[in-house]
Amino acid sequence: MNLSRREFSKSLALAGLGCVTGQWATKKALAAEPKIEAGTGFIDMHTHIGTYTDPKKNLSVEGLLKWMDQFQVEKSVVLPLTSPESTMYLQTTESALAAAKAYPDRLIPFCSVDPRTTHAGSVKSLVNMIQRWADQGAKGFGEHKVGLNFDDPLMMRVYEACQEVGIPLLFHIDNIRGKDVPGLKRLENALKTFPELNFIGHGPGWWASISGGLTQQELGGYPKSKVKPGGAIDDLMSRYPNLYGDLSAGSGANSISRDLEFGTKFLIRRQDRILFGTDYLAPGQHVPQFELFQKIELPADVRSKIYRENAIKLLKLT
């Protein structure tokens, strides 16, 4: 059901999120939006700062904050990218920590290290490294976007270390990074092995798995067909309470919009473990999540959980 902008804003207000504008608004209207009040905006589980692939599109901290103000995003998680397969231009943990130190009320830093680096070494050395970052404010590990099988022994060491430190891990799955198979059996191996670690799913391979009957090729893409029964996400979420979903990027939006009836029911069914996210990483980037939530009808309490409450609980925010 398509809502008018006024009706959409009213639905957000009922969810305790104030008046939110989307991609349909003009720049002039966006600039006129009131300043965000604490406790009223989205919490975005997935953003980046720096350069991703195009050096002409560097996203500064100030650029991220300006975009957040335009779209009523109160706080954003800033994710490093530290693996060579994850981006053309690496984004460091230190940059995320520094940004959050400068804007502690708006930015939430995560930490990351490629498990193949020699200084990562053993689980003990990983624990020491991650704990130091956690002591500096890192609330989670990720984006974990590495060119290895999801349950490769080197990857499993990272999961063990994160479980010991006690922070969640946000991962990417496709046919190149965090590699898995239809049914996400490698992810399930990690979930079983580390039941006290909260895993946050993201990426084409993760969100394509909302549907059953996938081929290996589809695991790396953006299927547009109706969702088929037997999706791995529903199955794994029903059996592993330590599994969450980050609804960011084109893959996250596509997973719901490809079959709005199923997607709406899925969001309601998994309302306690779905997290709003955008994967905003470059100036001027189109973000489909705002349009997506204009199209679907959800109870106010479900919207509130997805937009911010689940993140507050998972990341232990005050």
127 by DSSP, 3-state: which? Answer: helix
CB 271 within 8 A of CB 309: no
Q: Is the predicted pLDDT of residue 119 greater than 70, yes or no?
A: yes
308 by DSSP, 3-state: which? Answer: helix
**pLDDT above 90 covers what percent of the chain?**
84
Over residues 113-133, the mean pLDDT reads 91
Q: Is the predicted pLDDT of residue 122 greater than 80, yes or no?
A: yes
User: For residue 35, what pLDDT band results from cuts at 50, 70 and 90?
Assistant: low
Pairing of strands 243-246, 199-202: parallel
Give dist(CA 55, CA 89) in Å, integer. Answer: 8
Give dist(CA 295, CA 288) in Å, integer. Answer: 11
* 28: Cβ contacts below 8 Å, ≥ 6 apart: none
Residue 160, preceding peptide bond in cis (omega within 30° of 0): no
Question: Cα–chain-centroid distance for residue 202?
Answer: 6
Burial grade of 2 (CB within 10 A; 0-12, 13-18, 19 or more): exposed
Which amino acid is located at 166 in the chain?
G
Please tell me the predicted confidence (pLDDT) of residue 167. 98
Its pTM surpasses 0.85: yes
Please tell me the predicted confidence (pLDDT) of residue 30. 38
The DSSP element (H or E) to which 253 belongs, if any, is helix 249-257
User: For residue 9, what pLDDT band results from cuts at 50, 70 and 90?
Assistant: very low
pLDDT digits (tens, 9 = 90+) for 183-224: 999 999 999 999 999 999 999 999 999 999 999 999 999 999
If we measure between CA atoms, which residue out of 113, 127, 118, 128 comes closest to residue 80? 113
* CA angle, residues 142, 148, 151, in degrees to nearest 5: 80
The residue whose two tokens read 């008018």 is 4
Q: Is the predicted pLDDT of residue 46 greater than 80, yes or no?
A: yes
Tokens of 229: 């029964």
Q: Is the predicted pLDDT of residue 22 greater than 60, yes or no?
A: no
In Å, the largest CA–CA distance within the chain is: 55
Please tell me the predicted confidence (pLDDT) of residue 118. 76
pLDDT digits (tens, 9 = 90+) for 226-255: 999 999 999 999 999 999 999 999 999 999
The residue whose two tokens read 């022994």 is 153
Please tell me the predicted confidence (pLDDT) of residue 186. 98
Please tell me the predicted confidence (pLDDT) of residue 121. 74
* CA angle, residues 134, 138, 143, in degrees to nearest 5: 120
Domains of the chain: 45-315 (3.20.20.140)
